[in-house]
Amino acid sequence: MQRRTVLFTLGKDTPEAAVAAAAEAARDEQAYLACLLLDKLPGRPYFILGTSAFASAAMPEDWIDRLNAARTSAQSRAAAMADMLSRCGCAGDAQYAVCTGADMRLHAARRAKTCDIVQMAMGLRHDGEVFREALHGALFQSPAPVILNGSPFASYERVFLAWNGSLPASRAAHAALPYLRKAREVVIGCFDPDITEQRDGEDPGTDAAAWLSHHGCTVTVSQYPDSGAEIGRFILARAKEAGAGLAVMGAYGHSRLREAVFGGTTRTMIEQTELPVLLAH
């Protein structure tokens, strides 16, 4: 897993220690660390009603000053990160953007398109808009997988692959191959499988197991009928029950005009912080 390019996405409140830890791990793996600092615009313009049939936008008097201050702060932080990367001997760069949520998606996607994997900084969830928009852009507008709650440089003894035969699940499995090959055991979990010739076949998961076995993986297949539980919580519970250090699954969602929207199962796995998870779409 050496010589990869890792996109490390962070916010203005991400501590320096987190950036330093990512840089040291990347250096040890001879990886390139592309840091992307994102921040939202300071205070949105508000709307007032006029005498005409249309409302008009009112700009706070100090809004431009606050925007310039935010950009100056982000620029200074990016420069400091670039300097830190150089001092610790880690190949990498640092970019920044202070923008709307839609533009965050574009920035994250553009940078992720030339990276092997995306790591969301721990604690970025505290800035909900930045976390949601950056994650959505990287997942759904780039081919790169995203890892949450863990490091892309870690090794995991047991990996849980949530499998339903879909394209996102297949892409996630392909993206996770470096981790699957190094794991002592891979557990394939098939949830509420459709055991028909047209859908999942008589023995769901065995095709994925055969493929991974050819890669040298030790594979166990488990089939879970519908329990009535929310599927995301069910996946999390079964992964923990199997003793997995990493869960791998396909991601689902869509984008509205002004916001990123995740599917229910994907949202559950994104919001949880108990288990590292690798997602791909």
pLDDT over 70 (residue 244): yes
Range of the domain at 208: 158-280
Say if residue 227 is in the same domain as residue 274: yes
**Residues 116 and 235 placed together within one structural domain of the fold:** no
- Burial class of residue 263, CB neighbours in 10 A (0-12, 13-18, 19+): middle
Say yes or no: 95 and 28 in one domain.
yes
Residues 186 and 223 reside in one and the same domain? yes
- pLDDT, position 18: 96
User: What pLDDT does 264 receive?
Assistant: 86
**Beta carbons within 8 Å of 275's beta carbon, 6+ residues apart:** 149, 236, 239, 240, 244, 245, 246, 247
Tell whether the model's pLDDT for residue 53 goes beyond 80: no
Query: Do 78 and 189 reside in the same domain of the chain?
Result: no
Taking the C-alpha atoms of residue 220 and residue 195, their distance in angstroms, rounded to an integer, is 18
The answer to the question of residue 199 being in a domain is: yes
Residue 206 in domain:
yes
Q: What is the pLDDT of residue 49?
A: 52
Q: Are residues 137 and 164 in the same domain?
A: no
Residue 242 and residue 124 share a domain: no
Q: Is residue 67 part of a domain?
A: yes
Pair (172, 196) in one structural domain = yes
Domain boundary among 122, 148, 174: 148
- Helix then strand count (H, E) for the chain reads 9, 14
pLDDT score for 142? 97
The mean pLDDT of 211-239, rounded to a whole number, is 91
- Is 153 a member of any domain? no
Residue 201 is predicted with a pLDDT of 54
Tell me: do 200 and 270 sit in the same domain: yes
pLDDT at 198: 54
Question: Residue 257: what pLDDT?
Answer: 44
- Answer yes or no: do 170 and 192 share one domain: yes
End-to-end CA distance of the chain: 21
Question: Is 132 found in the same domain as 17?
Answer: yes
Number of domains in the chain: 2
Please report, for the domain that includes residue 212, its CATH number.
3.40.50.620
Tens of pLDDT, residue by residue over 80-114, are 999 999 999 999 999 999 999 999 999 999 999 99
pLDDT single digits (tens) 6-19: 999 999 999 999 99
Q: Is the pLDDT of residue 196 over 70?
A: no
The answer to whether residues 25 and 133 belong to one domain is yes
